[in-house]
């Protein structure tokens, strides 16, 4: 579905990605795990065209993403939920969700998608009229994901959805990601929470200072000596 081949990227003179090869097949949850500053968000920004294209190839269902603008990438069905849950603080939950169906072709599904979001996140239904900015961190993260789903993504890009959440909420966010995937959305996740994210991953890549140093199934990487030592404190 999505393929990165020898992707390299620099911010000005600062090179941050080196020959990254990565593939996401339809139906998978693929995770890139790595420490702060490893280049995880930069990979997602290359896919969603939020930065100027680096070197290498990025293809999605046969389309060369390097040639497209960010809104065209969204129209192909790739939706990114940015890091830090950038919701609209002065808008209510429902208004935030409505903003998510900005792609014309998804507007007809708007009401159905709001119902779907409320089923996935009952907490949002209870708080439908509350202003986004007054919700807790976990609720804002739920809202950010729910808003992303309003655009009917084929591929959902999630940037550190567990960041800053309590352990209990972290667990439920990963459960919901699994459920979204079960309902048919392919997922590319980037995370520092290595243990929880590998547990739900079909496959995963370990990124260290801009290079993929390991890849395998979630289970294989959880059992890998380097992963255990570097990320799991074992």
Ligand X SMILES: Nc1ncnc2c1ncn2[C@@H]1O[C@H](COP(=O)(O)OP(=O)(O)O)[C@@H](O)[C@H]1O
Binding residues for Mg ion (CB under 5 A): 40-41
- 41 is a site residue for ligand X (CB under 6 A): yes
- Residue 184 DSSP one-character state: T
Closer to ligand X by CB, 110 or 211: give it: 211
What is the distance between the alpha carbons of residues 44 and 214, in angstroms, rounded to a whole number?
Answer: 18
State the number of CA atoms in the 13 A half-sphere of 159 facing the CB.
22
Choose the binding region for ligand X from 10-18, 72-80, 123-131, 172-180 (rule: CB under 6 A): 10-18
Q: Report in angstroms how near the CB of residue 137 gets to Mg ion at its nearest.
A: 16
148 binds ligand X (CB under 6 A): no
Edge-first strand order for the sheet with 29-33 is: 78-81, 155-159, 186-191, 29-33, 203-208, 211-217
Number of residues that bind ligand X (CB under 6 A): 11
Nearest 10 degrees: CA dihedral of 90, 187, 56, 192? 70
* DSSP-H helix ranges across the chain: 40-47, 70-76, 93-99, 110-120, 122-126, 137-149, 167-182, 194-200, 218-222, 225-231
Q: Which residues pair with 14 in a beta bridge?
A: 11
Told to check if 27 binds ligand X by CB under 6 A, we report no
If binding is defined by CB under 6 A, does position 102 make contact with ligand X? no
- CA distances to 63, 129, 195, 216 from 176, rounded to whole Å, are 29, 22, 16, 23
96 or 196: CB nearest ligand X: 196
- Which does residue 131 bind out of ligand X, Mg ion, none, counting CB within 5 to 8 angstroms by kind? none
Query: Cα 87 to chain center, whole Å?
Result: 15
Q: Which of 22, 31, 33, 39 binds ligand X (CB under 6 A)?
A: 39
Which of 39-47, 59-67, 99-107, 221-229 is the region at the interface with ligand X (rule: CB under 6 A)?
39-47
* Rounded Cα–Cα distance for residues 182 and 179 (Å): 5
42 makes contact with ligand X (CB under 6 A): yes
- Binding range to ligand X, per CB under 6 A, among 37-45, 93-101, 177-185, 223-231: 37-45
Does residue 161 interact with ligand X by CB under 6 A? no
Tell me how far, at minimum, the Cβ of 83 lies from Mg ion, in Å.
5
Positions touching ligand X (CB under 6 A) are: 11, 14, 16, 34, 36-42
């Amino acid at each position: 579905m999505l393929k990165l081949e020898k992707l390299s990227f620099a911010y000005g003179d600062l090179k941050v990605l080196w020959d990254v090869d990565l593939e996401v097949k339809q139906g998978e949850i693929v995770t890139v795990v790595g420490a702060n500053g490893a280049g995880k968000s930069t990979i997602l920004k290359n896919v969603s065209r939020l930065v100027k294209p680096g070197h290498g190839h990025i293809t999605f269902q046969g389309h060369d993403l390097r040639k497209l603008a960010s809104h065209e990438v969204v129209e192909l069905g790739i939706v990114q939920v940015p890091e830090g849950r950038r919701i609209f603080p002065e808008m209510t939950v429902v208004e935030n969700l409505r903003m998510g169906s900005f792609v014309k072709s998804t507007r007809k599904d708007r009401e159905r998608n709001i119902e779907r979001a409320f089923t996935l996140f009952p907490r949002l239904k209870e708080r439908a009229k509350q202003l986004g900015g007054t919700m807790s961190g976990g609720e804002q993260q739920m809202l950010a994901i729910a808003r992303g789903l309003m655009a009917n993504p084929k591929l959902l890009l999630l940037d550190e959805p567990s960041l800053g959440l309590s352990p209990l909420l972290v667990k439920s966010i990963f459960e919901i990601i699994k459920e979204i995937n079960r309902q048919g959305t392919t997922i590319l996740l980037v995370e520092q929470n290595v243990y929880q994210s590998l547990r739900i991953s079909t496959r995963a890549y370990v990124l260290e200072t801009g290079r993929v140093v390991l890849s395998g199934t979630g289970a294989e990487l959880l059992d890998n000596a380097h992963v255990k030592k570097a990320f799991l404190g074992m």
